[in-house]
Structure 1
């Protein structure tokens, strides 16, 4: 008994669903348009974005005009109390939350029905004793949050989840 599979897309073990005619990808630098955030946030986020897509797709990365194109900006970088606790007669933060929002425009030049523009958000909780200065100086703290955003964009753009 023979089984013939046909279709327009290819499924891989990384979960991608990329049309075989799609060969290249370009990711523009994500500008930090939030009023906060460390100075290296834009560069770190963009490089992590490129690395993630290179590791998880067979696409060749190019400077611009890829078959798939991603661009956007970091629109919010907010650090605020997430859980208030009472100590004596004083209310204070028990946990602080860092929330990052990124506006992403994805263009699929081979199939415009796959294109989208959407805001993605993720956050991370930190002990109240950890200041935003300490978090900003530790790229791994921020990377935990931005990796969630990158994964969400990946799933929406090339995994079609």
Structure 2
């Protein structure tokens, strides 16, 4: 057998091994870290309601739009109004602004840092694999200087967005990245 035939035969076996390993997996892996079944094609995301006693009026709509944008950027799923293969719904259940670090200045205890904590209950349904379904509360927070009051934070479009992005990423990882 000549050397050329040996190389061709080895290449054939390596290619065959890769194809066999590729067929063995039942999920499709992507560079974004998702592990979606190839039969999953659509996603529906209902508007998240703001059931917290606080929070700016725009929070529910902006959170929902950011949630949709994140999934559309990081998956190839088609967004549909309802009855998607993957379905999300939920509510913003807490929007709490409170002192996080007390400092004593001139004998007076004052907040040195204020913390905004947001909690969102997420219900996830995977119509192709119900074992993946979950309902879970995700939470994130951000610290702000004592000179920033809640009105300033609510008027800063990036302040709450940093916090809600963490929640969206956690929900993404739990639902389609299986982390």
Q: What range is the shorter-chain TM-score in?
A: over 0.9
TM-score (norm 1): 0.99
Greater relative contact order (Cα 8 A, min sep 6): structure 1 or 2?
1
Runs of 4 or more off by more than 3 Å in structure 1?
none
Instruction: Report the RMSD for the aligned CA atoms in angstroms.
Output: 0.5
What residue ranges of structure 1 are gaps of 5+ in the alignment? none
1:88 aligns with 2:106: yes
Structure 2: gaps of 5 or more residues: 1-12
TM-score normalised per structure 2? 0.89
Between the two proteins, the alignment pairs up a number of residues equal to 161
Report the structure, 1 or 2, having the larger helix content: 2
Q: How does 1:28-43 map to 2 (within 5 A)?
A: 28-43=46-61
User: How far apart, CA to CA, are the structure 2 residues paired with 1:143 and 1:60?
Assistant: 24
Structure 2 match to 1:52: 70
> In 1, distance between residues paired with 2:156 and 2:76?
31
Name which one, 1 or 2, has greater alpha-carbon Rg.
2
Matched with 1:98 is: 116
